[in-house]
Structure 1
Amino acid sequence: MNTQIMRVVKQGEAFAVQSQKSESGQMMKCNIVLQEMGGKYENQYAAAMLGNMAQCKFAPGALVAVTLRFTAREYNGQVYQDILVTDIEKLKG
């Protein structure tokens, strides 16, 4: 996992999801779209922020230092990729 500087494209609202790992049985989740630095056609990633991190708000265009974890899993014969934000911090600018 490498930390990269990316730009926030958009961020959804936080919502509760079922979680067996949480004491209350629920965890907050928020989806965020991040884009690599460069031109307007650079790679974009739709990632999930979980727990307390899901409560953080980032404006479109904000620069962030972010660490992403990529995982793949198989379900019903299909392979799905998940991208999870493991660390994110807004850069001053």
Structure 2
Amino acid sequence: METRIMRVVQQGEAFAVQSQKAESGQVMKCNIMLQELGGKYENRYVAAMLGNMAGCVYGPGELVAVTLRFTAREYNGAMYQDILVTDIAKLGIRN
């Protein structure tokens, strides 16, 4: 994993999902769309933020330092890729 500086495009609302790892059986989750720096055609990623991170709100255009975990899995003959935010911090700069 590596930490990158990215721009927030948009963030969805937090919602509860089932979790076998959580003590309560549920964990909060929200999705965030991030874009690499360099212009409007740079790569974009939709990543999940879990737990306490899901309660943090980032506005469009905010710059963040973010660490992403990419995983891939096979389920019932289909392949899926997941992107998880493992760490995120506002840089206090808005573009």
How many pairs align? Answer: 93
Unaligned runs of 5+ in 1: none
The one-letter code matched in structure 1 to 2:28 is M
Deviation string 1:9-44 (CA, Å, 9 cap, x unpaired) is: 000000000000000000000000000000100000
Percent of aligned positions that are identical: 80
What TM-score, normalized by structure 1, do the two folds share? Answer: 0.99
Partner of residue 53, structure 1:
53
Question: Which consecutive segments of 4 or more residues in structure 1 shift more than 4 A?
Answer: none
Partner of residue 44, structure 1:
44
Structure 1 residue 81 corresponds to structure 2 residue 69:
no
Alpha-carbon separation, structure 1, partners of 2:11 and 2:39: 20
Q: CA RMSD in A?
A: 0.4
Alpha-carbon separation, structure 2, partners of 1:79 and 1:43: 21
Unaligned runs of 5+ in 2: none
